[in-house]
Amino acid sequence: QVELRQWGPGLLKPSETLSLTCAVYVGSFSGNYWTWIRQTPEKGLEWIGEISHGGSANYNPSFKPRVTISVDRSKNQFSLKLTSVTAGDTATYYCARIPVATGGELLYLDYWGRGTPVLVSS
């Protein structure tokens, strides 16, 4: 059973940088993609971006150029950085796994972290 544990500060001021980390416990880090999703009551679930275990990242254009997702293979961890946050970035942030299907397709998110609520407020 794959377990994802995520952490990071829950309170930020406007213009600061949001930094979250997700660690993979049990299960393989390699051979999968890793993703960040956020959820707000207004917009629901939003895909922020994803990264391969090798470090190749794709981002939602809505978050460019503020977003960076990186991977630390030595620690089986991946991280999210979102710069210049505003109140609009207040959300619960989730990390999740995207397994690579036999044909190389990335089809679904099968394991999720518990979520980190983030409040952006002055």
Partner 1 sequence: DIQMTQSPSSLSASVGDRVTITCRASQNISHYLNWYQQKPGKAPKLLIHSVSTLQSGVPSRFIASGSGTDFTLTISSLQAEDCATYHCQQSYTKPRTFGQGTNLE
How far is Cα 115 from Cα 95, in angstroms, rounded to an integer? 7
Q: Is 103 in the site for partner 1 (CB under 8 A)?
A: no
User: CB neighbours (10 Å) of residue 106?
Assistant: 15
Query: Structure tokens of 16?
Result: 């600061």
User: Which residue, 43 or 73, has its beta carbon nearer to partner 1?
Assistant: 43
User: Which residue, 15 or 40, has its beta carbon nearer to partner 1?
Assistant: 40
How far is Cα 42 from Cα 29, in angstroms, rounded to an integer? 33
Q: Is 104 in the site for partner 1 (CB under 8 A)?
A: no
User: Which residue, 9 or 108, has its beta carbon nearer to partner 1?
Assistant: 108
Q: Is 62 in the site for partner 1 (CB under 8 A)?
A: yes
Helix (H, G, I), strand (E, B) or coil at 65: coil
Closest CA to 57 of 47, 44, 71: 71
Site for partner 1 in 9-48 (CB under 8 A): 44-47
Residues forming the site for partner 1 (CB under 8 A): 44-47, 58, 60-62, 94, 96, 105-110, 112-115
